[in-house]
Structure 1
Amino acid sequence: MVLEGSQLDYFDNHSDGLEFNNKQLANRELIDFEFYGCRFIKCNFTGTIFKKCRFEDCTFIECNLSLAIPKFCSFIDVDFVNCKAVGINWAEAATPININFYSSTINSSSFFGLNLTQISITDCSAKDVDFTEANLTRGTFAATNFLNSRFSKTNLTQSDFRSSINYTINPECNLLKKTRFSSPEAISLLSGLDIILD
């Protein structure tokens, strides 16, 4: 079902400073909606197609956005807290993009080629995520599980991976400059090198 503008009794084309609770919009298509300073709490956007929507200074709390499609959407200063956002190709969104994830599950998502300076992915499950060719300069990646996630030609300058686990980052294939790691997890940085540790 395609929803545009006034077709939703709880969304207007332009929403400013509103709070939306427990809205069920799974497998819908939303086109040309704008949200400024809004909060979405316990909403279900599973499989939802967002097309040409704009989210600015918004927060999603305990929402399910798994398999959502952010087609040509703008995300400026948007936070996801305790959310499930699995299998999202964020590269389909409009740029620039400014998003953060806290205590959320973002497994099997893609940030391929995106400029995400100062992004925060904190206390998250980020398994099988593609960060190839992304700019993650000054990013904060604390207490997050990066099992099987891909870092290739990724700019990790001044990023902070302390307290994160299961990352595999080859120093020869990524830009590491003043990037912060904690031991013993940092030993994984040597896995891509042709060396023997005794």
Structure 2
Amino acid sequence: MKLLFDTTFNKINYSTELFETGEYDSCVFNSCNFSKTILSNSSFINCEFINCNFETPNISNTSFKEVIFKECTLVGFQFEYCNDFLFEVSFENSVLQVCSFFKMNLKNSKFINSKIIDVDFTNCNLSNVKFDSCDLSKSIFENTNLEKTDFTTAIHFSINPENNKLSKTKFSNENLSGLLNQYDLDII
């Protein structure tokens, strides 16, 4: 397995160029295309993905430890197939669409100024997560631990308080309607 440390990769199209399985520590991937790329069995530790495109990559048994996705587009990213040992990710100014974090531990993760559309958070631990200025349209929260989760600046979420664990969860007065959607109320 290849070991790379403190390396920057610029504008590489991994959908046509072979991605080498390995351990990437403190690396930066800038403007790379990972569409349909096989990332299986690789490890990313303290890495940054900046302005990268991920469309349905194969990530089975891939490790993401202290990884930041900035200005990235992630479509069909199935995080539940990752190695969950020390799994830690954050997202800034990114788009996540039709992704799944099913049963993942995302405790203390940060989602900043991102569009999180049709993302599955079923059975997740989202305790102490911050959704700062995020659009959560069509995202699924079912049997999810939302203790101390911050939704104060989030929009378009729909959370059923009866099917999720809410304690000290933060909302603003303006977005409380996201807790009442299942009741088919007209809130004015």
Give the match for residue 156 of structure 2. 166
Q: Percent identity?
A: 32
Structure 2 gaps of 5+ residues are none
Residue 191 of structure 1 and its aligned partner are, at CA, apart by 2.3
TM-score by length of 2: 0.93
Give the match for residue 27 of structure 2. 38
Q: Is it true that 1:59 corresponds to 2:20 in the alignment? A: no
Q: Is it true that 1:16 corresponds to 2:13 in the alignment? A: no
1:48 paired residue among 15, 37, 41? 37
What is the distance in 2 between the residues matched to 1:146 and 1:177? 20
TM-score by length of 1: 0.89
Residue 182 of structure 1 and its aligned partner are, at CA, apart by 1.2
Change (3 A) 1:195 1:23: closer
What is the distance in 2 between the residues matched to 1:20 and 1:30? 11
Superposed CA offset, 1:90-141 (max 9, x none)? 0010012111111000111000010110111111111100000000010010
1:107 paired residue among 97, 117, 139? 97
Moved more, 30-39 or 125-134: 30-39
Superposed CA offset, 1:161-195 (max 9, x none)? 11110000000000011010112211221223487
Give the match for residue 8 of structure 1. none
RMSD: 1.8
What is the distance in 2 between the residues matched to 1:59 and 1:108? 22
Change (3 A) 1:195 1:148: closer
1:89 paired residue among 56, 71, 78? 78
Q: Is it true that 1:157 corresponds to 2:147 in the alignment? A: yes
What is the distance in 1 between the residues matched to 2:113 and 2:27? 23
4+ residue segments displaced more than 6 Å: 194-198
What is the distance in 2 between the residues matched to 1:155 and 1:28? 40
What is the distance in 1 between the residues matched to 2:174 and 2:73? 29
Partner amino acid, structure 2, of 1:48 = T
Give the match for residue 10 of structure 1. none
Partner amino acid, structure 1, of 2:64 = F
Which structure features the higher share of strand residues? 2
What is the distance in 1 between the residues matched to 2:127 and 2:180? 21
Structure 2 counterpart SS, 1:121: strand
Change (3 A) 1:37 1:148: same
Q: Is it true that 1:183 corresponds to 2:180 in the alignment? A: no
Change (3 A) 1:170 1:30: same
Residue 67 of structure 1 and its aligned partner are, at CA, apart by 1.2
Superposed CA offset, 1:40-70 (max 9, x none)? 0001111111111000000000011121121
What is the distance in 2 between the residues matched to 1:28 and 1:72? 21
Residue 32 of structure 1 and its aligned partner are, at CA, apart by 3.4
What is the distance in 1 between the residues matched to 2:125 and 2:141? 11
What is the distance in 2 between the residues matched to 1:196 and 1:172? 20
Q: Give the number of the structure whose alpha-carbon radius of gyration is greater.
A: 1
Number of aligned residue pairs? 187
Preserved contact between residue 143 and residue 165 of structure 1 (Cα < 8 Å): yes
